[in-house]
Amino acid sequence: MFKSNPDFMRMAPTPERVLAVCRLVAQKPISETDLRDAMSLLNADVDIQPITESVNVALSELDLIKNQNGLLTLAVDESIISSPTEFRRYVSARVFQKKDTTFYLFTRWIIAQNERLFSLTNWESMAKTCAQEQAELKALNENAVLGWRFWAAFLGLGYLSGTMIIPNMKLRLEDVIKTEFAKKFKCNEAIRATDFIAWLSGKLPEVDMTGKLPLALSAALRTLHELHIIELATWQDGEKIMLYFVDGEPINDFTHITVKEA
């Protein structure tokens, strides 16, 4: 799922399945055969391929579990699998720093499409268009994108709606702000938007922030502002950061941002 490009991202190892594998392994060391039996409830009619692929993702791609003398054991602190939120933040911190994966490269392309996404009305058209435009992703196909969409939604890149994804990185941005912001800045204190974006560009490497911010990130900032998690303000004579323009939106730029203390 998160291998170096080209990687045919699979639909079977969903976030929920990978987390379930980790929680089962956390109970006690277990062989892969016994784990498959436990997750399939010894039902011979259950397809074990999704279980096997989920184990591989947890073991080889996310380093959540390890194999010691034929037994699978948890390789991380149990707090990481204590909730979907902690699990999501662990996975995000890993997968978005690996810039050579198909997952990362396709994510970066998707975010850059902005409103064009609404014209790519199904997953097949997304895959074909990206493969035609990005030489490094020429092997991308619909099945890979179908696998990508589950993790993209789980990691907070947008919201699934039928056969498309609505670009709004609210959850992804909120995770970064809640876990990293206070290490650099003070909460409840207005900071310059330019300083914030310079910092944020290192935390969200999948987003190009060199010009006007893309729709997905702009939507996230507006959403967090409406939820009073952050406050966007435009001060006279301040250097503006331009959001992706949306007709009817009251905020299309900001010079300062305040992150509210939780």
Q: The tokens of 12 are what? A: 């079977």
pLDDT at 78: 97
- For β-strands 241-242 and 164-167, DSSP reports them as unpaired
Q: The tokens of 247 are what? A: 């007709």
Per-residue pLDDT of the chain (262 residues; tens, 9 = 90+): 999 999 989 999 999 999 999 999 999 999 999 998 898 877 766 778 888 999 999 999 999 999 999 999 999 999 999 999 999 999 999 999 999 999 999 999 999 999 999 999 899 999 999 999 999 999 999 999 999 999 999 999 999 998 889 999 999 999 999 999 999 999 999 999 999 999 999 999 999 999 899 999 999 999 999 999 999 999 998 999 999 998 888 899 999 999 999 7
pLDDT at 162: 84
- For β-strands 158-161 and 230-233, DSSP reports them as unpaired
pLDDT at 180: 97
Q: The tokens of 44 are what? A: 């011979």
The per-residue DSSP string of 150-171 comes to HHHHHTTSEEEETTEEEE--HH
Q: How many angstroms separate the Cα of 79 from the Cα of each of 23, 29, 46, 164? A: 11, 18, 30, 33
pLDDT at 154: 98
pLDDT at 145: 96
pLDDT at 44: 67
The per-residue DSSP string of 25-56 comes to HHHS-B-HHHHHHHHHTT-TTS--HHHHHHHH
Q: What is the residue type of 44?
A: A
41-77 burial, b at 16+ Cβ within 10 Å, e below that, comes to eeeeeeeeebbebbbbbbbebbebbeeeeeebebbbe
pLDDT at 206: 98
Distance CA(190)–CA(36), nearest Å, equals 52
- For β-strands 71-74 and 65-68, DSSP reports them as antiparallel
pLDDT at 48: 83
pLDDT at 45: 66
pLDDT at 156: 98
pLDDT at 249: 85
Distance CA(174)–CA(7), nearest Å, equals 29
pLDDT at 47: 76
- 16-57 pLDDT, tens digit each: 999 999 999 999 999 999 998 898 877 766 778 888 999 999
